[in-house]
Every structure is written in structure tokens, then in C-alpha cells.
Amino acid sequence: MSGHTEFNRAAFLAGSLAVIGGGLPRRGRSAEPAGPSVDPKEGLARLMSGNERFVNNDIPTTSAVAEKRELLTESQAPFAAILSCSDSRVVPNLIFVQGIGDLFIARVAGNYPDDLVTASIEYAIEHLGTRLIMVLGHQNCGAVKAVYTAIETKKSLPVHLSTIERLMSPGIESVVKAHGTEMAAVEANVRAAVATLRTTSSVLATGVKSGRLLVVGAVYQLGSGKVQLLD
């Protein structure tokens, strides 16, 4: 695990208690979803502590889903926004043991942001108070593999898929030319996506510069379930 930050277990336990119905206030109390007051480093600690529980199969029993759902009908305040791959094996709420209303998730094959994805993340920041953004790549990513092969063989992907190739190629080209591994390409793609978010969005650039926002990259291992932060 990268030494990106120290993880506060207490912050996690206080902030999120169940996979789907988690963090549910008792009847008679107002809803207190994680929101603008959540420091991005505290949010990252919460995610990583949740992932540790997922790896250890320490997942709380789902409860009171309907009540939590009802409490969130008028508003939401997710403490983290996650850009992940559309891969069916990558399910952020499970991977980080978070519940309804905790995570704002954008999913697209290859977890690389286009204008629509960037706009979605900006919405979470400006309107929902989200202060932590994570780009989550994963082991054996089919989109990365397809773009890697397209660059290597000099055979472009078909229409529509070529859009993914156009976005992702600059970030992994050097890995392909060096005959690097597909995992190296996955990591390079995540780093490129993080850099794109940080530089092409004035909202994110300003937030990162001021210290209000944290944008990080990570890779999910399909077999172990472990998420590793990238430097």
C-alpha cells in the first residue's frame, strides 16, 4: 500500500456502518449524511478502511434500506466521487463498504473522463459538496487491453470504441512502446485520468490548489479485492 496518507479507522467507523443501509440515523433524529464538512483525507481514510473490511469479508448485514432511502429523497451529500470502469466486477459501494448516499459514482469503460464525466464530477463538487475524487482502475481491464492491442498492432478499434482509444492512447502509449505489462498500462491510464481531471477542469484545478479537493488514483485487484493507492 502506498503511503499516500494515514488512515483514520475511527473516522471510518463513525461515518459509515453498512453496505446499503449504512449510517442510518435512529428514528426521530434528522438525517446526517456525510457532506461538505467531511475533510477529503478523512473521506479517503473512510474508503480505505472500508476496503480493508471488504478484503476481510467483514461486511455488515444490510438493514433498514427503505428508511435510509426515504431519508435521502430530498437531498444527498456524498463524501466521495468515484470514476470507475463499467466492468461488472467493479462495484464501488461494495468494494469500499459504503451505503446509499455515500458515493457519487461515474462509470465508463476504461475509467477515463470525457467532457460528460468531468461535468458530472463537477456537479458533485459544486452542488453536493463532495471534496474527494478517486479514479479507480482495475486488474484485467478489457478497455485498457483493447487500446493496448490497438496501439501495438496499429489497428484502430471500430467506431464508438475508437472514442475510448482516442482518449486513453496518450496515457498508455509509452507503456506499449516499452513492452510493459497490462497492469503497468492500467496504472498509467489511471494516472493520466487523474492528470486530466486536475488540469482540464477549472473547478477541480482551483479546488486542488486551495487544498479543498483531493484527487487520487487507485487500482482494484479483482482476486483479492484490495484497492491500492497510486503515488
Quote the pLDDT of residue 219: 98
Give the CA angle between residues 20, 26, 28 to the nearest 5°. 130
- Mean pLDDT, consecutive 10-residue stretches, the chain (231 aa), reads 40 39 38 60 97 94 80 92 98 95 97 97 96 98 97 94 96 98 98 97 96 97 98 87
Record the pTM. 0.84
CA distance 175 to 189: 10
Quote the pLDDT of residue 68: 82
Quote the pLDDT of residue 67: 84
Q: Which of 94, 120, 125 is nearest to 107 (CA)?
A: 120
CA distance 154 to 42: 44
Quote the pLDDT of residue 66: 83
Cα-based distances in Å from 112 to 116, 144, 171, 207: 11, 10, 10, 20
Quote the pLDDT of residue 209: 96
Q: Are strands 80-84 and 103-107 parallel, antiparallel or unpaired?
A: parallel
CA distance 71 to 218: 31
Quote the pLDDT of residue 231: 87
Quote the pLDDT of residue 37: 66
